[in-house]
């Protein structure tokens, strides 16, 4: 295992070079094959990672906990609401003390624009162990790395020219974070994919992430475009990734955001829309999908859906990030 990334923070994919990200993908692939063969990969024996959650989780928590165990390490789950962070403990204290207790700090803080990424970078400033972003308000770099791994498995490592439609979709459950569409928009063009982002007026993504994604596309040969027409985004797409996200200015007024979204109930991924994409297009979602709203059962349970492959790869990319940085 290379030491080139030992001790490095992983807060946004844009913090790592394309070669470093590909190293993580290749490492995840190797770990996945060994897992399937039943070969032990105890690369982090007696090491500890702290998993600090300010939001709910299924795939993220379990991929890191199971992954740490399989690597010979131990993951400590910390609920933000039952820790001293709820009483205002500083990021400085958190970073210094947890660094002295273990070997990495992972944080999920994604529901409040302007807070999660800022907290993680403040912790990282004072920690002398790597800080991993398990999802913040800006990026979900663990999810999008697994997404890219899944795309490379399906289409090959040369992803240049593939079209991915990242579309808003209706969901009545809650105002979901913006970090997944932003993360996809910032990462995929760097690997040559053509990204089309679709959303109704008012659901614009954070300005800084859009500007970075435009630069990344220009530098890497991918394309980035925007539309307010879900059908237009799906046209000729190799990959469709429809999911809901909230309105940046209304995250502290979720009821108002959800009320506005009701006028766009027709933004659903159904069989008709899948036929607009390429015949062999694949459907992706970070999960949990809001069935019957974001997507129909016919699509998510159908032959074009690769959501379970995608979710499986969350384990192996989490393991790769820990193995490379801890």
Q: How many contiguous H segments (helices) and E segments (strands) does the chain have? A: 12, 9
Distance CA 49, CA 132 (A): 10
Mean pLDDT to the nearest integer, 148-165: 98
Mean pLDDT to the nearest integer, 199-216: 98
225 CB neighbour count, 10 Å cutoff: 13
Give 5's pLDDT tier (boundaries 50, 70, 90): very high
Looking at residue 1, what is its pLDDT? 72
In order of start, what are the domains of the chain with their CATH numbers?
A: 13-140+314-325 (3.40.50.1370), 143-310 (3.40.50.1370)
Mean pLDDT to the nearest integer, 66-80: 97
Distance CA 197, CA 191 (A): 16
Q: Is a pLDDT exceeding 80 seen at residue 277?
A: yes
pTM of the model: 0.97
């Amino acid at each position: 295992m290379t030491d080139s990334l030992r001790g490095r923070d992983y807060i946004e994919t844009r913090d790592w070079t394309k070669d470093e990200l590909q190293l993580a993908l290749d490492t995840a692939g190797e770990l996945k094959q060994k897992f399937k063969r039943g070969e032990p990969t105890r690369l982090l024996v007696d090491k500890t990672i702290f998993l600090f959650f300010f939001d709910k989780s299924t795939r993220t928590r379990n991929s890191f906990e199971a992954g740490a165990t399989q690597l010979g390490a131990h993951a400590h789950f910390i609920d933000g609401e039952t820790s001293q962070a709820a009483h205002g403990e500083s990021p400085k204290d958190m970073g210094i003390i947890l660094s002295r207790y273990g070997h990495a700090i992972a944080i999920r803080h994604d529901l409040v624009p302007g807070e999660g990424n800022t907290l993680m970078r403040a912790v990282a400033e004072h920690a002398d162990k790597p800080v991993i972003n398990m999802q913040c308000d800006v990026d979900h770099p663990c999810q999008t790395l697994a997404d890219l791994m899944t795309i490379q498995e399906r289409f090959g490592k040369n992803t240049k020219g593939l079209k991915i439609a990242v579309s808003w979709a209706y969901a009545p459950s809650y105002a979901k974070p913006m970090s997944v569409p932003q993360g996809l928009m910032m990462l995929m063009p760097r690997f040559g994919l053509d990204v089309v982002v679709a959303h109704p007026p008012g659901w614009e993504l954070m300005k800084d992430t859009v500007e970075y994604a435009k630069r990344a596309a220009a530098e890497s040969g991918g394309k980035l475009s925007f539309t307010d027409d879900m059908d237009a985004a799906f046209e000729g797409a190799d990959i469709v990734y429809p999911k809901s996200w909230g309105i940046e200015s209304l995250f502290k007024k979720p009821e108002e955001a959800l009320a506005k979204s009701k006028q766009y109930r027709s933004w659903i991924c159904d069989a008709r829309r899948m036929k607009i994409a390429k015949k062999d297009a694949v459907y992706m979602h970070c999960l949990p999908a809001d069935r019957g709203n974001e997507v129909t059962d016919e699509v998510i349970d159908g032959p074009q859906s690769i959501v379970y492959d995608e979710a499986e790869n969350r384990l192996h990319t989490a393991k790769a990030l820990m193995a490379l940085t801890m």
